[in-house]
Structure 1
């Protein structure tokens, strides 16, 4: 059915006018039919531009940034007076919405097209309302911090969604705005519950819409909410199977649930799609998708004792000398992968020797990524008894935190704060100041629990509460250690080191039943291991003895 385009009035039924973005391949007859999901965003541009706009929005909703920008430019070629194309270009130029607050160039990149959208305008009041709402993100952007602008945008999108209650896209984009402005330390999850109340009914009505499934995954990407996100996670990759990010996103839920093979499988598919994209030299965004997927794969492999599979990915990343797009997600993956490989295996000597690669990357732009590696290196030095080196790395970590605080990057400054406490704790333990060490380590664990992980990562490189359990166990406090390992496993289920630590603590405290249970779970989870870790050997020996 051809959708009815209304210019001066807004009254359409999204159900009857749903336009599949797969049909939009008709505008590109030399290419195979695309599988991007189904999107219908009615605009007052000409019919050809309308089709191209729907395709651009399908790409938008799956965060396929460079292709989406190209698609919005195609809309302008088809209809130079389509103000909403500039609206789309403005958002896409800013990059990942969940990184806007930490990307100092986001507002600068998006502001010109937002202004062009305002100047060109649109024939319908509804579209003008979209353009006006977006304008809140750029109001005095050079002198005003991001969060108040983001909150103004969220409020404008709420008003728009209330005004046009039958506009599916308005509802979806308001839910996205709620997720963007959600505070990691808000454990009432007020924004997330509002977003879920919008998206869940839409998921029932429009099961092929890429944005609905995508944003539901983000909505539930929290330890306390994750169970609610499994259906969306299992659906999204089938909705838009040609999009690397859509293949990756389900693993945000899988990692929270400790579904490690699913993590590996989804990111293997995303990695391959991103590698295929890299064959097109104009699409630098493929580097971001590939590295992001590789970090998740390393994490998934390590939890299954698949050290060789993880090492191949770590070595592949280490061989990269230059990345097409230098962004935070790429920098984070470069820092996190070798840090994970060392710390997950408890190879603290290797951790203490970590260096930033590639050296050509502008690491000074990404202190929050650099801090991940410096933290792991400092922890490695402290745990191998090289306290002088640990103190030196601690000073560097403190300098990185100060830089983040100066830039008003409160989330990552907070993450660095509990990393600093953890390093101080292990230095104090090395100095035989046990009480101080445990106090600092507990403070780090509590601070980490009060926040949450960033969407950029499958999990913190070393969970603080797991470290607290290891410290207690090394100090002969097995019963208390078991409590901390179990608390850690509630937040990060099925972690290899968490299960192993809980098993050891249970055995040391005389709880044979729990020890057997945790050892069995460890062996089951690592059944497909490709390296004979000492922990697996000990688990077998302990089970034979208990």
Structure 2
């Protein structure tokens, strides 16, 4: 059989037959398409079922535009298949892991789909329960904050999964809701663990299901749990290679565990697939993760190549046509993040200090540029530029607060406080600088990064280590770099900083260990490479000569 969308029964419902049987369907028009094995049993006509299953497979891989088209095609094949409006409503919600409020236009479209489903209700109580659950996301969205609506959806999915324990799809969507409704400040990760346990149990039985692989990665997309997602990360791209997001998503795990070359490879494939499909936002998102990995491995020429491609890529971006896992905000995020990363990771402080901010509807993207400017100016002793950047960060934070974007307001406040700490250092207020930087690191540790970014532009605790090095406190700096690496393994500046701090504090063994680690991470680095790599080679050579 040629490679195709394989649709298999993965759930058993209390329907007339009560039986579960794996089955495959060949989609002639999409013979080359491979989206994994998915079956969501419905009361629709048999002729419409393959189209519905394909749409659900696309939904599981966050290919929202294609999923909506698939559900529309199902309705054309069977106008009575109104459970399709449930799929359209979930697709209109977009990426549930994208931090921030959903656009009002998308919520209006989602609610309209729910209303159409309720006007022509599905034929079974089970299908009606799916529609009722999805309706919680859109209920009175003009006045009700998003978080309680998400929690109401999670609770409705919990009830649905409990009512239909043999419905695998119900369990999968419930686990997904547990993961995306989790409180980012909860460091016990209780909901993520619960979601992961549900999904991994099912994945062992249904190893070709795209949603299972995908949501395992998301559930464990936090530092202490990332290793649990490695198997799913290494399989997801093979399960659904026709979905660009399935090619990118493994890099979330690879980034968390510091497997940089695997992240590079999968994002090269993801960006190429997204370009072919016209998903420019997804292409930019994959490019950001790719650039981050290049910079961690000292492959600066490759990172520059991606940076220089941004005008051409962004020139193709159409926010109104976005329908992938990457919302429009992700495109603007990458456009701001990539130049900032390229300057900061390489220690090009002049370039960082002179970055030009680009206005957008997303203040946190502009904030990244101002934060990078502040850090660059700090290393140049330019207090005026730091102050101007802090003022701009304050304005961005306030705009986000007024828009009830509490997550992003907090992230920008962390950046503002980090910039203020470095301003204090430039002004000679060393103890104030250190106290503020410590407090900022603690504040950042209490939050969690958004899925839109592979990592902070500069982790606050890493900045604390660099500040301590400047203050000639290498032993303290070493502790901060080591702590950073527990959260951000194999991060170039943290490893290089640890090597430098260890050497300065007379810890030759640690200096050699971190130097070795840096050279292994950077096996494909440009030559002669960054100064840190040259120092690492010298350290290893000296150690070997003793």
| TM-score computed with the length of structure 2 as normaliser | 0.93
After TM superposition, give the deviation of residue 289 of structure 1 in Å.
1.3
Distance in 2 separating the partners of 1:103 and 1:175: 21
After superposition, the Cα gap between the structure-2 partners of 1:12 and 1:429, relative to the gap in structure 1 and judged at 3 Å, is farther
Matched with 1:341 is 342
Establish whether residue 195 from structure 1 lines up as the match of residue 233 from structure 2. Answer: no
Matched with 2:51 is 52
> Contact (CA 8 Å) 1:8, 1:123: kept in 2 or not?
no
> Contact (CA 8 Å) 2:8, 2:38: kept in 1 or not?
no
After superposition, the Cα gap between the structure-2 partners of 1:11 and 1:217, relative to the gap in structure 1 and judged at 3 Å, is farther
Matched with 1:167 is 167
> Contact (CA 8 Å) 1:245, 1:289: kept in 2 or not?
yes
Establish whether residue 389 from structure 1 lines up as the match of residue 385 from structure 2. Answer: yes
After TM superposition, give the deviation of residue 393 of structure 1 in Å.
1.2
> Contact (CA 8 Å) 1:479, 1:509: kept in 2 or not?
yes
After superposition, the Cα gap between the structure-2 partners of 1:478 and 1:68, relative to the gap in structure 1 and judged at 3 Å, is same
Establish whether residue 354 from structure 1 lines up as the match of residue 351 from structure 2. Answer: no
Distance in 1 separating the partners of 2:537 and 2:245: 39
Establish whether residue 534 from structure 1 lines up as the match of residue 534 from structure 2. Answer: no
After TM superposition, give the deviation of residue 325 of structure 1 in Å.
2.4
After TM superposition, give the deviation of residue 373 of structure 1 in Å.
1.7
After superposition, the Cα gap between the structure-2 partners of 1:386 and 1:161, relative to the gap in structure 1 and judged at 3 Å, is same
After superposition, the Cα gap between the structure-2 partners of 1:11 and 1:493, relative to the gap in structure 1 and judged at 3 Å, is farther
Establish whether residue 25 from structure 1 lines up as the match of residue 27 from structure 2. Answer: yes
Deviation by residue 1:251-284 (Cα, 9 ceiling, x = unmatched): 1110011101001001011111112112xxxxxx
Distance in 1 separating the partners of 2:397 and 2:8: 55
Establish whether residue 154 from structure 1 lines up as the match of residue 165 from structure 2. Answer: no
> Contact (CA 8 Å) 1:12, 1:166: kept in 2 or not?
no
Distance in 2 separating the partners of 1:92 and 1:100: 16
Distance in 2 separating the partners of 1:390 and 1:108: 41
Matched with 1:36 is 35
After TM superposition, give the deviation of residue 451 of structure 1 in Å.
1.0
Matched with 1:89 is 88
> Contact (CA 8 Å) 1:161, 1:170: kept in 2 or not?
yes
After superposition, the Cα gap between the structure-2 partners of 1:41 and 1:12, relative to the gap in structure 1 and judged at 3 Å, is farther
> Contact (CA 8 Å) 1:9, 1:124: kept in 2 or not?
no
After superposition, the Cα gap between the structure-2 partners of 1:6 and 1:297, relative to the gap in structure 1 and judged at 3 Å, is closer
Q: Which residues of 2 match residues 165-244 of structure 1 at below 5 A? A: 165-244=165-244
Q: Which residues of 2 match residues 128-139 of structure 1 at below 5 A? A: 128-139=128-139
Instruction: In structure 2, list runs of 5 or more residues that go unmatched.
Output: 1-6, 321-327
Greater than 6 Å deviation, 4+ residue runs: 1-8
Distance in 1 separating the partners of 2:454 and 2:481: 19
Deviation by residue 1:133-177 (Cα, 9 ceiling, x = unmatched): 111111111111111111111100000000000000000000111
Give the one of 300, 317, 338 matched to 2:310.
317
Distance in 1 separating the partners of 2:424 and 2:508: 32
Q: Secondary structure at the match of 1:365?
A: coil
> Contact (CA 8 Å) 2:61, 2:214: kept in 1 or not?
yes
> Contact (CA 8 Å) 1:5, 1:44: kept in 2 or not?
no
Distance in 1 separating the partners of 2:226 and 2:88: 32
After TM superposition, give the deviation of residue 322 of structure 1 in Å.
5.0
Distance in 2 separating the partners of 1:38 and 1:452: 32
After superposition, the Cα gap between the structure-2 partners of 1:2 and 1:91, relative to the gap in structure 1 and judged at 3 Å, is closer
Establish whether residue 102 from structure 1 lines up as the match of residue 101 from structure 2. Answer: yes
Distance in 1 separating the partners of 2:11 and 2:227: 40
Distance in 2 separating the partners of 1:215 and 1:4: 16
After TM superposition, give the deviation of residue 7 of structure 1 in Å.
9.9
Comparing 300-309 with 534-543, which one deviates more in the overlay? 534-543
Comparing 533-542 with 321-330, which one deviates more in the overlay? 321-330
After TM superposition, give the deviation of residue 221 of structure 1 in Å.
0.5
After superposition, the Cα gap between the structure-2 partners of 1:473 and 1:153, relative to the gap in structure 1 and judged at 3 Å, is same
Matched with 2:140 is 140
> Contact (CA 8 Å) 1:72, 1:86: kept in 2 or not?
yes
Instruction: Tell me: higher relative CO, structure 1 or 2? Use CA pairs within 8 A at least 6 residues apart.
Output: 2
Distance in 1 separating the partners of 2:11 and 2:143: 40
Q: Secondary structure at the match of 1:99?
A: coil
Q: Which residues of 2 match residues 212-291 of structure 1 at below 5 A? A: 212-278=212-278, 286-291=279-284
Comparing 524-533 with 476-485, which one deviates more in the overlay? 524-533
Comparing 84-93 with 497-506, which one deviates more in the overlay? 84-93
Deviation by residue 1:222-243 (Cα, 9 ceiling, x = unmatched): 0011111111111111111111
Distance in 1 separating the partners of 2:48 and 2:12: 15
Deviation by residue 1:268-324 (Cα, 9 ceiling, x = unmatched): 11111112112xxxxxxx101111110011011111110000000001013433512
Matched with 2:3 is none
**Root-mean-square deviation over aligned CA pairs:** 1.9
Matched with 1:545 is 542
After TM superposition, give the deviation of residue 529 of structure 1 in Å.
0.9
> Contact (CA 8 Å) 2:210, 2:240: kept in 1 or not?
yes
- Give the count of matched residue pairs: 527
Deviation by residue 1:92-125 (Cα, 9 ceiling, x = unmatched): 1222121274223342231110111111111111
After superposition, the Cα gap between the structure-2 partners of 1:503 and 1:3, relative to the gap in structure 1 and judged at 3 Å, is closer
> Contact (CA 8 Å) 1:339, 1:373: kept in 2 or not?
yes
> Contact (CA 8 Å) 1:288, 1:329: kept in 2 or not?
yes
Matched with 1:360 is none
Matched with 1:303 is 296
> Contact (CA 8 Å) 1:348, 1:381: kept in 2 or not?
yes
Matched with 2:325 is none
After superposition, the Cα gap between the structure-2 partners of 1:524 and 1:113, relative to the gap in structure 1 and judged at 3 Å, is same
